[in-house]
Each structure stands twice: as structure tokens, then as C-alpha cells.
Amino acid sequence: MKFSEMPYSRPDMDALFSRLDQLTSQLEAASSAQAQLELFKEKDQLMSHFSTLSSICSIRNTVDTRDKFYEDEQAYLDEQYPLISEKLQAFNKVLVASPFRAQLENELGALLFTNIELELKSFTPEIVPLMQEENRLTTEYQKLYASARIDFMGKTVTIAQLGPYKQDPDRSVRKAAIEAEGSFFDQNQEALDELYDKLVKNRTEQAKKLGFDNYVPLGFIRMGRNCYTPEDLDSFRKQVVRDLVPLTVKVKSRQAKRLGIDDFKFYDNVFMFKDGSAKPQGTSEEIMAAGRKMYHELSKETGEFIDLMLENELFDVLAKEGKAPGGYCTSLPDYKYPFIFSNFNGTSGDVDVLTHEAGHAFANFIADRTIPVPDSRWPSMEGCETHSMSMEFLTAPWHNLFFGDMTDKYELSHAEDALSFIPYGCLVDHFQYEVYSHPEMTPQERNETWARLDRMYRPYLDFEGLPFYGRGAGWQRQMHIYQSPFYYIDYCLAQVMSLQFFALSLKDRNEAWRKYMDFVRLGGTKTFIDLAHSVDMRSPIDEGCVKDVCTAAFEWTEKHLVE
């Protein structure tokens, strides 16, 4: 069924809540493991239907944030999500205390119970009003961000549509584009500061009601971190500063030399080559057609996947007025469909959508068809991001379909971006650690903290002449900080994994794809570390992994320089 034909109606929450209550009572009274398994499956079916309707609503709301019907529906659902958490917690409490737990674990997997026990630590009915408010605040931030209309060079553009200007060969245009973007955030400084202040206080209050000192441990649990500790992540960030940041300084020094610039500034950061960054060739339709050809040639499974996506309108990728910023992949479980949302803007990022977001969608496609337990289909987020970031590299033999004679430039810049991204991702994570450890910070203190950490992770940047970035407020354009606290480090861990797949693909492309498929087929049946080890790869948490993997990638870039 095409996405445009999918029906939406507001879920009957009273009926859903009533049935969940009944299932919980029946679960507690069940006299056998088989009876409990049947109740568990019915719960999954109920939640699949609700999740499908809520995804349809969310997609249509982000495709056009001005649509009043879906704006109101999204606001309604934002109120319901915490109430559903309350019902599911009651069900899960009975499940993990089952006298038949050993038999249930044999059928459903022990990891599912580990994850449920983590979730139980992150919720109490007492925090439902706070969770509802948190949802309202994050939706308000998204709507504010999407409302940006910036007058630039005789046009009115969105933030996404400024992207090509940030990569313009004319340095003055790049600077003007960065200034124009910053002006929107400066004009909304008070609202952005107030929104984040409310979110920090809200999340801190949730944590304290659950018995935590602050939001840091609660955020860690809510990200489903089930195989490493906050101390492990701290060690990972330190490895990045010690072993990777010196390499990224060399990468950026090399970039400045390529550009012929002695005074490398922030507005030069994403401009990779003197005659222009690599851009996809052709129209949006031609890019999508190239993507179809790529996936048909990559494997039988990816061919089936891309046909499903294109024939059922499961992409919405053109930037347009009123559309929410960013990109994502989500799922429509009743249909066993993924859905990809993005904002094409004529830069190489358009192709990344067909590799990164399609990596998520392909993993969803495989899991829906091979893993019977819905809760075991998705790994924790660093595993999910491994699916996407690795796909970016494993599709390299087809990059020429998109970039033509600029393919070498794209592949060099893609590898360089992968290296320089990891410190940035760690910066985002470290900043949130500091903010939630000190929730009393003022807006100015938060900006000062970001600026201090920025110098640690990206010492090559100079923000001279850029008021928004110069005052340390650049974090406010990173949506995850508002909407998905502590998510961003998952990208960093996954990027290290993707660079391992990249290195293997250079030696044996078929073996790299086989390992990737093995990784994908495991879904969420193992922890992230176990997923890595199951395909004979190192975990990014392992001491020395960052240095070895990133040094190998850096050495590849040294051998493949393009002017």
C-alpha cells in the first residue's frame, strides 16, 4: 500500500488502555508459559497497531508542520505516550516476575528481559505529567526550528536550503550563509534558551523522582545502554581526544592547504575543495533512480528492499516550506514498511540519505521478515547507527552513479568527514553530561561550557566574526540536544564500527558485505558489544580501538588525496 493511501484515525486510547489492563491481569493469572507467550503476542499486536498510527501521524506532521490536523493529532499523541508507558510498565513488571521466566527467556531471549528491567528503572506513574510536558517542549522546539524563513541573496529559504551556500566556492557567500543561519537563532535566542532551560529542569525533576541525583544516569538508561558503563563512555571520549583529535587537526590543516587558506574559519569547515565540494549529478529523480540501480546490483535483498520503498512512496526527501528539518528513518510495523524522511538540498548529503537512512530502513526491512519478536528486531541505537553508517561505505562501488568525475573527491571528503565527525559527536555528548550534571547553569554558562569543550574537540575552528557561533551557542542548532538527550555518542561508536567495515571492504568487499549482513540479521538479539564480537570485529569501547581504526582510515586518506 502506498503511504498516501494509508488510513489514519485517532487511536481509541480508552479501548487500548482497557485491553492492556486486561492483558496484565491475565498474564498474572496465567498457569503456563505458553499462555503467557500468547498474551505477550497479543500485547505486541496491539502496540504494533498503535505504533503504526502514531508513525503515520508523526510523518505527516513533519512533512508539513503547518498542517493543523496533524499538528493537533501530534499534540494529542504526545500526551498519550507517557500513559502508554505506564500501562506497559505494569505488564512488564508481571512479565519479569513470572514463575515461568526461564521458559519465556528461552522463547523470547534473555536480553529482552534485561532491557525490560532497565526500562522499569526509568519510569514511575508519578512522572507522567513531566513526560507529557517534555514531549510538548520538544515538539515546540521542532516547530520553531521548522518555522525559519531566512532572506538570503534575494530568496527566502529554510535552514536546509542554506546548505549549498555553505559550500559555495565564493568564501564571502559561505560566510554570509553561516551568518544568515546564525541570525535566525540569534533572533530566537530568548525562546531557545527558555525551551532548553525548561527541558533541563524537567528531565532533572524526572530523575530525582526516580531516585537519581541528576538526569545523567536516567538518560543513560533511557538510551538502553546494556553492556557498558558511563565510565566506559568517558574513557571512549578521552581516547578520541588523545588519539583522534591530533589526526583531525592534520585533516583540517590539509584541507586549508587544499583551499589555499591561511586563516581557516568556521565557514570554511564544510567546503572541501577549491573548485567546489563534490555534488550529486542530476535531478532528485535521477538520484533516486541511481539509488535503485545501486541497490539492485548490491544484493538480491537490497534490490527487493528498494523496490518496496519506491513503489510504495516510502521516501519524502525534498526540502520544502513548512517541512521539519533534519532526516530520519521510522517504521510502519503493521505494513512491515520503513519510511525515510529527509531534506534534499543539492549537496552530497542527498546521497548520504540513500546510504545512511537507507541503511536503517534496510535493517528494518530484514528484521521485520526474519525476527519474530518485535522487541528483538532493533538493537540499541549505536547498533542501529552501525547499520546506517556502514552502508555509506559499503556502497562505495556505486558512488560514481551519483558523482561522476567527482567521485574521488566525494570519497576523500566522506572519509575525512567520518574522522572529524567523531570528535564533534563526543563534544555533543560531553556537553550534555556537563549540563545535566549542573542543571543550575544559566544560558551564558551553558554557552561558555560548549565553547570550552569545543576548543578541546575541535581546536582548529575559528569563529571570528560570527556572533551566534562566537558566543558558544552553536549547540542550539543540533536538534538531538533538545529532542534526544545523550543519543549523539551512539553515532560516534557506530562511526568507529563503520570504519572497520570500510577497512575490510578495501581488502575483500564480499567478505565485508557478508559480515554486514550477519550483523544486520542479528537485529537486537545481542548487545552492541556482542554484536561487534559476533562478526569478529572490535568494540569501539575496547582500549586502543579508536587509535587503530582511525589511524588506518587517516592513512587511507593520505594515500588518496585529491586537489
pLDDT in tens, 119-148: 999 999 999 999 999 999 999 998 899 888
Confidence of residue 346 (pLDDT cuts 50, 70, 90): confident
With H, G, I as helix, E, B as strand and everything else as coil, classify residue 12.
coil
Q: Angle at CA 230, nearest 5°, toward 476 and 206?
A: 60
Confidence of residue 498 (pLDDT cuts 50, 70, 90): very high
Q: Can you tell me the mean pLDDT for 70-87?
A: 94
Taking alpha carbons only, the member of 356, 349, 365 closest to residue 387 is 356
Q: Angle at CA 437, nearest 5°, toward 432 and 441?
A: 85
Confidence of residue 345 (pLDDT cuts 50, 70, 90): confident
Q: With 80 as the cut, is the pLDDT of residue 154 above it?
A: yes
In this prediction, residue 325 carries a pLDDT of: 82
Are the C-beta atoms of residues 276 and 348 closer than 8 Å to each other?
no
| Cell numbers standing for residue 292 | 535503485
**pLDDT over 70, % of the chain:** 100
Q: Give residue 218's Cα distance to chain centre.
A: 19
Confidence of residue 435 (pLDDT cuts 50, 70, 90): very high
Half-sphere exposure (CA, 13 Å, Cβ side) for 559? 6
| Cell numbers standing for residue 354 | 540513500
Write down the mean pLDDT value for the chain.
95
Tens digit of each residue's pLDDT (9 = 90 or more) over 276-325: 888 898 888 999 999 999 999 999 999 999 999 999 999 999 888 889 88
In this prediction, residue 163 carries a pLDDT of: 87
In this prediction, residue 265 carries a pLDDT of: 95
Tens digit of each residue's pLDDT (9 = 90 or more) over 189-219: 999 999 999 999 999 999 999 999 999 999 9
Confidence of residue 327 (pLDDT cuts 50, 70, 90): confident
In this prediction, residue 353 carries a pLDDT of: 83
Q: Can you tell me the mean pLDDT for 217-236?
A: 95
Taking alpha carbons only, the member of 62, 71, 55 closest to residue 479 is 62
| Cell numbers standing for residue 270 | 564544510
In this prediction, residue 46 carries a pLDDT of: 97
238 vs 312: CA distance, rounded Å = 45
Tens digit of each residue's pLDDT (9 = 90 or more) over 57-75: 999 999 999 999 999 999 9
In this prediction, residue 302 carries a pLDDT of: 98
Confidence of residue 563 (pLDDT cuts 50, 70, 90): confident
290 vs 294: CA distance, rounded Å = 6
CATH hierarchy code of domain 224-280+403-563: 1.10.1370.30
In this prediction, residue 41 carries a pLDDT of: 97
Are the C-beta atoms of residues 452 and 435 closer than 8 Å to each other?
no
Are the C-beta atoms of residues 378 and 526 closer than 8 Å to each other?
no
First CA to last CA distance, the chain = 47
In this prediction, residue 36 carries a pLDDT of: 98
Q: Which of 100-114, 132-146, 161-175, 270-284 has the highest mean pLDDT?
A: 100-114
Beta bridge partners of 328: 341
**Polymer length of the chain:** 563
CA distances from 158 to 155, 320, 343, 351, 480 (A): 10, 8, 10, 20, 19
170 vs 153: CA distance, rounded Å = 13
Confidence of residue 340 (pLDDT cuts 50, 70, 90): very high
In this prediction, residue 221 carries a pLDDT of: 96
With H, G, I as helix, E, B as strand and everything else as coil, classify residue 342.
strand
Q: Can you tell me the mean pLDDT for 386-407?
A: 96
Q: Can you tell me the mean pLDDT for 23-52?
A: 98
115 vs 446: CA distance, rounded Å = 33
Confidence of residue 352 (pLDDT cuts 50, 70, 90): confident
Per DSSP bridges, beta strands 315-318 and 337-344 are parallel
Instruction: Give all strands of the β-sheet with 337-344 in edge-to-edge order.
Output: 315-318, 337-344, 328-332
Are the C-beta atoms of residues 54 and 11 closer than 8 Å to each other?
yes
Taking alpha carbons only, the member of 359, 380, 376, 357 closest to residue 367 is 376
Q: How buried is residue 300: exposed, middle or buried, by Cβ count under 10 Å (0-12/13-18/19+)?
A: exposed
Q: How buried is residue 507: exposed, middle or buried, by Cβ count under 10 Å (0-12/13-18/19+)?
A: exposed
| Cell numbers standing for residue 138 | 520538544
11 vs 199: CA distance, rounded Å = 27
